Amino acid sequence: MKILVATDKPFAKVAVDGIRKEIEAAGYEFALLEKYTEKAQLLDAVKDANAIIIRSDIVDAEVLDAAKELKIVVRAGAGYDNVDLAAATAHNVCVMNTPGQNSNAVAELALGMMVYAVRNFYNGTSGTELMGKKLGIHAYGNVGRNVARVAKGFGMEVYAYDAFCPKEVIEKDGVKALDSAEELYKTCQVVSLHIPATAETKNSINYALLKDMPKGAMLVNTARKEVINEAELIKLMEERADFKYITDIMPAANAEFAEKFAGRYFSTPKKMGAQTAEANINAGIAAAQQIVGFLKDGCEKFRVNK
Ligand code: NAD
């Protein structure tokens, strides 16, 4: 069995070493394709792979057509919108993610970006503090829960809304559960986004939702750029000089945001939420272990194309 790690943005070396160890200990062959620049390189590398570990790499119908021996793809990370699930199912390929493995890394980045923004991007002027501010967590999954934990340490008043997580589960963490996204945005001065990009959530963060945020509002996005209706966010920020947008996923209209909203807009140069040695190791090794469990014992615990 050949297990391919195909990452255009490579894992940290220590993570690659850990993945190799897991795979070789199970008696499988390890192969590595890193920093590829052409899709043709990926198509060639997957030809004889039985399993693939990816990060943000695109696995579409063309890749699946080329991978004749493929049984499983594991996205080392949480979001799997880079994999064509319907095509994978049609090819009889199991798709998994590695939930929870990078959540603390993303949560720390979200809080770090909040501090950076309320301190005016460390420009030497006097800023504000997070303590006592109302933080709204939009989606209480693995990242949202970690954001709540860290934010409480900062003394923030934490609220959350999740379409699927029961309110009792949220409230057990000492977080106030609200009934709708609308209520969350109306209540909280700072909203941290943790919804996945799905057909339902794409473009859902729009003018109607954001316009009711309290004065001095800040939206922090460590989820996906696709969930934001960029044109409507721009319209809102043109109307409201008090509104800040801080993101880990550069918008398509980055240049326009940067030019129009200097001093209240920030984007990381590339997605950095999961870019820590710890998250790389956790997610990479979990991916390798899930592949071994699937190939040896048929374990499908983290399958996302059920
Ligand atoms: P998760 O699957 O643990 O949690 C997602 C939560 O969203 C779940 O609790 C689910 O019930 C909720 N949800 C789904 N649809 C919803 C809706 N329409 N309204 C409200 N809640 C909804 O995922 P996670 O690990 O917390 O990650 C969240 C997202 O963050 C991922 O999907 C990914 O896109 C993004 N992410 C980004 C980075 C980064 O590097 N910036 C890293 C990891 C994850």
- CA-nearest of 259, 221, 218 to 242 is 218
CB 220 within 8 A of CB 190: yes
Cα 124 to ligand 1 centre (Å): 35
Q: Tens of pLDDT along 45-66?
A: 999 999 999 999 999 999 999 9
For the Cβ of 104 lying below 6 angstroms from any atom of ligand 1, the answer is: no
How many C-beta atoms lie closer than 10 Å to residue 40's C-beta?
A: 10
Q: Tens of pLDDT along 198-232?
A: 999 999 999 999 999 999 999 999 999 999 999 99
Domains and CATH numbers, the chain: 1-99+274-295 (3.40.50.720), 123-261 (3.40.50.720)
Give, in order, the Cα–Cα distances in Å from 63 to each of 37, 45, 48, 55, 297. 15, 10, 12, 15, 26
Angle between helices 13-25 and 277-297 (to 10 degrees): 20
For the Cβ of 102 lying below 6 angstroms from any atom of ligand 1, the answer is: yes
Cα 100 to ligand 1 centre (Å): 10
Cα 270 to ligand 1 centre (Å): 19
What is the pLDDT, as a whole number, of residue 83?
A: 98
Burial class (CB in 10 A: 0-12, 13-18, 19+), 68: exposed
Mean pLDDT of 86-108: 97
For the Cβ of 77 lying below 6 angstroms from any atom of ligand 1, the answer is: yes
Hey, what are 53's tokens?
């570990």
E strand or H helix that includes residue 30:
strand 29-34
Q: Which residues contact 203 (CB under 8 A, 6 or more apart)?
A: 226, 227, 228, 229
- CA-nearest of 74, 2, 12 to 286 is 74
- CA-nearest of 32, 53, 51 to 41 is 32
Cα 140 to ligand 1 centre (Å): 8
For the Cβ of 287 lying below 6 angstroms from any atom of ligand 1, the answer is: no
Computed over every residue of the chain, the mean pLDDT equals 97
For the Cβ of 195 lying below 6 angstroms from any atom of ligand 1, the answer is: yes
Q: Tens of pLDDT along 144-189?
A: 999 999 999 999 999 999 999 999 999 999 999 999 999 999 999 9
For the Cβ of 141 lying below 6 angstroms from any atom of ligand 1, the answer is: yes
Provide the 8-state DSSP code for 120: G
